[in-house]
Amino acid sequence: MRFGSDSDQDPVLVSVSTTRPRLSLLFDSLRKKEKGNQNKSRRDEADRSIAPEPNLNPSEREIERRKKSNLFEEEIMAWQQPMDGSHASGSKAAAAVADGPGTQRTQYPYVTGSSIIALKYKDGVIMASDTGASYGSTLRYKSVERIKAVGKHSLIGASGEFSDFQEILRYLDELTLSDHMWDDGNSLGPKEVHSYLTRVMYNRRNKFDPLWNSLVIGGVKKGPKGEEKYLGMVNMIGTHFEENHIATGFGNHMAIPILRTEWREDMTFEEAVKLVEKCLLVLLYRDRSSINKFQIAKITTEGATIYPPYSLKTYWGFAAFENPAQGAVGSW
């Protein structure tokens, strides 16, 4: 920093600050010259050590010379050094690149899916979602299936980042394979899968590298009390609970009131489908991220069934849809 006029500056400090760059340049040039002399002497020794072979062309002779003089190793180490001029070893430089500021985690979801609707009914658990996936605010993908079977007794559905859901499915594949390899006559049920996913999501949250999903896990497994139906959810920070009916995403605001009013424990599969379709239709009208292409899945003691996608009949002639700003105060 400068204080006062140029006459107030210390002449010693001025001379040191101006000559320091020149000295560093001088030292760099001397080091380069010395290194060049060393390389030349090693090339000469390599030339003397290589027996004259008439079959070697000039390019092959140059390769042999470089191998003898260890120039290949130096060039590889030079490429592995970081760009800031530090003289770390190749392995340290690679580690710095892998874990340093150049590596970034996904801190915002890109391709996302919307709501999952799930509920228990008389014979098992039913789960539904649309097949759309948005790239930002654009409905980019129209045939994305976000409901999958896990093992013999469970279904999983996911809202949020689709690539993170694919990573979770990879975790579950490894888990079910490991469980199958025990060959002890037992298999993981929905409660165990839910418990495992709560630990995974909470672990990633604590690393500040979360999986951007809200997961719904449902299933049926025979237990001490007979056929036990299970339905639970876990979100991206590890918050989890078990409930008779669950909705994620925008459905948590629009579908939960409908489910609380109309859900019954003794519902048949047909009644459960009608209730789920009612929730999906409300979300189609109100959620811009939803599309009219839905998929329903169920799981009972007989196993999981995922039905092909289909569309619902819609009606857009409501007065509130034709002129939504009518009667609104201050609306333009």
Q: What is the CA radius of gyration of the chain?
A: 33
CB of 154 closer than 8 Å to CB of 190:
yes
Q: 106 catalytic, yes or no? A: yes
3-state secondary structure of 302: coil
- Nearest-angstrom CA–CA distance, 78 and 80: 5
* Residues whose CB is less than 8 angstroms from the CB of residue 205 and which lie 6 or more positions away in sequence, other chains included: 236, 237, 238
Which helix (H) or strand (E) segment holds residue 298: the answer is strand 294-300
User: 313: phi > 0 → left, psi -120 to 50 → alpha, else beta; which?
Assistant: beta
- Burial label for 39, CB within 10 Å (0-12, 13-18, 19+), is middle
Selecting among 106, 239, 268, 314, the annotated active-site residue is: 106
| H or E segment and range at residue 180 | helix 162-182
- As a whole number of angstroms, the distance between CA 227 and CA 301 comes to 7
Q: Which residues contact 59 (CB under 8 A, 6 or more apart)?
A: none
How far lies 258's CA from each of 122, 204, 217, 286, in Å? 19, 33, 21, 14
Query: Checking DSSP bridges between strand 111-113 and strand 133-135, what pairing results, if any?
Result: antiparallel
DSSP 8-state secondary structure symbol assigned to residue 307: P
129 - beta bridge partners?
116, 295
Q: Residue for token digits 């299970």?
A: 230
Catalytic residues: 106
